[in-house]
Amino acid sequence: MSVPSNAGSIRIHRDIAAWFTRIVVQPLSRLLRRIVRRVFHRNPAAVAFWVAESPVVFAAMATLSELRVFDVLKNGPQAAGDLARRVRADEDALARLLRAVSAVGLLNRRRDGCYALNPVARQFCSDSPNPVGAWSELILQILPLLSRLPAAVRAGEPLMKHATGGTCWDYLATVPRGTELHDRAMNAWTEAVVDAIAKRCPLAQARTVVDVGGGRGALLAALLRSAPHLHGTVCDREHTREEALQRFQRQGVQDRATHTVGNFFEAVPAGADVYTLKHVLHDWDDDHVLQILRVIRRAIPPQGRLLIIEGAADHDLLPGASVRAVWDLTQWIATWGKERTLAEFQALLAAAGFRLDGVRVTPTYDALVIEAVPV
């Protein structure tokens, strides 16, 4: 693991998942990168072509997802005409999309001309545990802004801030289903990993927890299921309240879970033993991160703990450098934030009155549990 040289007594908790990642996943990833690079180097013109055309292929997959074509195909192979009638689309236009994505292996086209799901296309179904369908539909809403990327790079500002003057949430509120798509994608991704994350959170000595920016309560519910002695609250926007309370009811933790409407730039419930922040800080620039951390610092008791659940740009047990670099660019384009190194987390925590106290590895592809204590 890559740890800042001035990190002090950071404790690194390694488990079977970390061992498996280091011994199996990383060597396979390196082998795959070597194979891909060899192909790229031998076919530079073909690679350049596909890079130039990739937005078209992406837009086709996102459109098929929005039209619910992949959901319809769960019932079995269908011809383009039948699909067009089912999703209320023009047959000729839809057939062009289907041919294109099938040609590059993202959907199967059978000898009889019917289309069928393959393992990649199944990931775009609305009930997939990997919500790439909702995510691609969300990114499709942001594509018009990409023409401003050269100007944003020259100005040194995140694209969303440079192009709109607002946050991604401000922008998504102006486009059809923007907020819904964002929340659906984030909720599904959270659902897929919260149980694994909850098992790595140190909660044995805690009695109360506040999940700051916890949305519809997926993480809090997982924490309470993993620690039956725990009580907690989600602190987030008004529109997340009803679904959070419904989730608590479904998952049998309603007697120990509440939802508090709040703004984490202003105040959070005070006095809890543990505060959690899952994939919140990477959405914001350093000034806003400091504001969030200082709000929590005012609320946390002297013996409390802050758990930041995010990836670290320099952590060697997470996916390879290429994945981290692309995700960092995605954050810079779509939000005001970025992926941070452990040294950057340490500096921000220190400026807000915390000390970085430990790092726990989780068996997820992009989440560490970064522990901090007030000083």
Active site residues: 282
Strand partners of residue 259 = 234
Q: Which residues contact 248 (CB under 8 A, 6 or more apart)?
A: 217, 220, 221, 254, 257
Amino acid in position 302: P
DSSP state, 372?
Answer: E
CB 234, CB 187: distance < 8 Å:
no
Measure the CA–CA gap between 13 and 371, rounded to whole angstroms. 11
**β-bridge pairing 257-261 and 354-361:** unpaired
Q: Note the helical H segments in the chain.
A: 16-20, 26-42, 44-66, 69-73, 80-87, 91-103, 119-122, 132-142, 149-155, 159-164, 168-172, 178-198, 218-226, 241-250, 286-299, 321-334, 342-351
Q: Could you give phi then psi for residue 264, rounded to 5 degrees?
A: -70, -5
